[in-house]
Chains A and B, each alone.
Chain A
Amino acid sequence: MSSVSLPESKVTGEIVEDPRTRTTLVRGGLDFAGVTETICRSIEGKTPIGWYIAFGISLLMLGVMVASIGYLFWVGTGIWGLNMPVAWGWAIVNFVWWVGIGHAGTLISAILFLFRQKWRTGINRFAEAMTIFAVICALVFPTIHVGRVWLIWFALPIPNWELIWPNFRSPLLWDVFAVSTYFTVSLLFWYTGLIPDLATLRDRAKGKIAKLGYGIFALGWRGSNRHWINYEKAYLILAGISTPLVLSVHSIVSFDFAVSVVPGWHTTIFPPYFVAGAVFSGFAMVLTLAIIARKIYKMENLITIDHFDNMNKIMLVTGMMVGYAYAMEFFIAWYSASPYEGFIFLARAKGQYAWAYWIMITCNVLVPQVFWFRSLRRNIPVMFVASILINVGMWFERFVIVATSLSQDYLPANWGYFRPTLFDVSTYIGTMGLFFTFFLLFLRFLPMVAIAEVKGVMPEADPHHKPAEVK
């Protein structure tokens, strides 16, 4: 750990290379009021013109989604490229992709909290927001994929005239419970974290509507330490139960595949492999959004280059895990001596979907290798491009899993090739509109950085902190 001519942090010019010391999380000499001001400015100040442009585009894309889904309801799932043998086309690919993206938010808010990673405070709020919106987008797909969407309530254990119940032995039903629980718990976690910050906005609000709106949602929070003690306990417990929850959700999503007997799906590596991939793609999405939001809203003092450095390290680790899983799948396919398994993996690398497979390998295994180098981990254009490529790669991972295994299973007479239609594409693009519409509204009306939590990790927040010790 020698510190040879390292690039200086642009914000403060200080370098903390000694692993025994922690870098400062809040830069630019901000005090408590400065933190409040920096974060609230993005909501109270003039909305940047870029926001309106982005919001307009998002609404347009949302309109595309609404129209596509409306047409789907009118005509049926035949408007998609779904057919035998590939009956699980883009709808499932997109579902898994969006749920996976959501996972980083819970990882940052819950797992890093349990590990006392204080740097999470700079990014947890909008990572959690991203989780919620991504899970909403994810939930769209299985819902509309059932075809007769007005019967979706069959998935819930509701007494009905046929007197039968859902099949609780089916992984698809586990998925209903897992993803809806995940959504609800993420929402509660996010809202609990927001309460003190909504109180901040309430206390700063000038307009009557803002006062009323923030006032109602702040629930009358007054920062009493008799309340904080319950609040912190509840928050810790939420983090504790969200940690196994987030691991369970993508495990259960992977059961949709792994519990079947389709070659290439029926493997025990799927749960950990899916969870690693989910964290990988989720961090990439957090990074993409954080780079843009930080720039537009001038949050460089709160979301520092060290935050990005840490996130890139996590992406490197999870990217390597995913790469290991790809290799191990091939090994097990060979070691199992099952001709069907062996065939399907060779078909992935050399068959009709080889182009998709190699896009996946390039984006998910090769691209994150740039993060071995410190200078590239701290280079914003590099990480921005990498984060987008990683999400492209993760989409292709799910596409490869769904399309290769289904298109060439046990009976060669049934083989086929999946081609998406215009409506596959428009629905997928449309959910991005849904996601960004929510996300932009969040940036406009809610604090994108957790105000109370950032203050809590500042050295001045320690009651035994002595101002003289500040360098």
Chain B
Amino acid sequence: MDKTEALYGMVAEFDSPGALLHAAEATRNAGYERVDACSPFPIHGIDKALKIPGSKVPWLVLGGAFTGGIGALALQWWTSAIDYPIKIAGKPYLSLPAFVPVIFELTVLLSAFAAVFGMLALNGLPRLYHPAFNHSRFHKVTDDGFFLIIESEDPMFSRSTTREFMAGLGGTHIEEVRG
């Protein structure tokens, strides 16, 4: 566990979503850049407070949707009209209306893959280990704990003033985490 010795940052606990939101706003206003807020459910407003950029998931889904739709059309067209055309019930080889259901289904399927796996990739998950888990009470983050993290990489980070700053915001159980 030698590598875990490096200081990752300072973690403080807050007692309510409102307190965490105010702390996040104050931290950003004080000039901290590398800040994260962890909570059992999404708290709306924190994304603005921390200036988290908008999600890129919709663009990935759009890509998935086009891939699925065009791929399904190409698959049906090539197999039914090019590679081995068979006349069935007097229908044209390229029966576009009959191809709509499969085009629709594959559009949805690849969009869903893009949404879920894209979301995980953008979040850097799966990542089973994270330094924040070393905080003694961080297990409450999935129960009723609200945590603010200031990373040591932040140019304004200082072990003493950051701790005082977080205490001043009403944070409790302020701990340095390593890893």
* A interface residues with partner B (beta carbon < 8 Å): 31-33, 36, 157, 163-169, 171, 173-174, 177-178, 181, 184-185, 188-189, 191-192, 196, 199-200, 202-204, 215-216, 219-234, 237-238, 241-242, 244-245, 248, 252, 255, 451-453, 455-456, 460-465
Contacts and interface: CB of A to CB of B under 8 A. Distances in A.
Interface of B: 16-18, 20-21, 36-47, 50, 52, 54-58, 61, 75-76, 79-80, 83-84, 86, 88-89, 91, 95, 98-99, 101-102, 104-106, 108-109, 111-113, 115-116, 118-120, 122-123, 125-130, 132-133, 138-144, 147
A233 B58 contact: yes
A426 B123 CA distance: 47
A176 to B, nearest CB: 9
A185 B108 contact: yes
Contact of B112 (A169, A174, A241): A241
A456 B41 contact: yes
Contacts of A173: 102
A229 B55 contact: yes
A245 B108 contact: yes
5 contacts: A168-B102, A169-B88, A216-B126, A225-B52, A229-B54
Contacts of A234: 55, 57, 115-116, 118-119
Contact of B111 (A171, A241, A462): A241
Given A189-B112, A221-B125, A230-B122, 18 more contacts: A163-B83, A168-B95, A185-B108, A200-B143, A204-B139, A222-B132, A223-B142, A224-B37, A226-B52, A229-B52, A229-B54, A232-B55, A233-B55, A234-B115, A234-B118, A242-B108, A245-B105, A252-B101
A219 B120 contact: yes
A456 B41 CA distance: 6
B119 A244 contact: no
A199 B127 contact: no
Contacts of A460: 16-17
A165 B84 contact: yes
Contact of B39 (A185, A220, A223, A245): A223
Given A237-B58, A460-B17, A36 B108 contact: no
A135 to B, nearest CB: 14
Contacts of A451: 40, 142
B144 A33 contact: yes
Nearest to A452: B41
A178 B106 CA distance: 9
Q: Looking at chain A's contact residues, is the secondary structure mostly helix, strand, loop, or mixed? A: helix
A220 B47 contact: no
A165 B130 contact: no
B127 A220 contact: yes
B76 A168 contact: yes
B122 A178 contact: no
Given A169-B80, A227-B123, A216 B128 contact: yes
A199 B132 CA distance: 14
- Tell which of B80, B95, B138, B143 has the most Cβ of chain A within 10 Å: B143
B115 A177 contact: no
B139 A203 contact: yes
B34 to A, nearest CB: 11
B101 A174 contact: yes
A168 B84 CA distance: 12
Given A229-B55, A238-B116, A157 B126 contact: no
B142 A196 contact: yes
Contact of B125 (A31, A220, A242, A465): A220
B80 A168 contact: yes
B39 to A, nearest CB: 5
Given A167-B88, A168-B102, A220 B129 contact: yes
Given A184-B112, A188-B116, A200-B143, A225 B41 contact: no
Nearest to A238: B115
Please provide the 5 A-B residue pairs with the shortest distance between their CB atoms, ordered closest to farther.
A32-B144, A234-B119, A228-B42, A165-B79, A219-B126
Contacts of B128: 215-216, 219-220
Nearest to B93: A169
Contact of A203 (B37, B102, B130, B141): B141
A452 B52 contact: no
Contacts of A230: 55-57, 119, 122-123
B40 A452 contact: yes
Contacts of B79: 157, 165-166, 168
Contacts of A215: 128
A166 B99 CA distance: 12
Nearest to A189: B112
Contact of B86 (A167, A184, A244, A453): A167
Contact of B89 (A169, A204, A226): A169
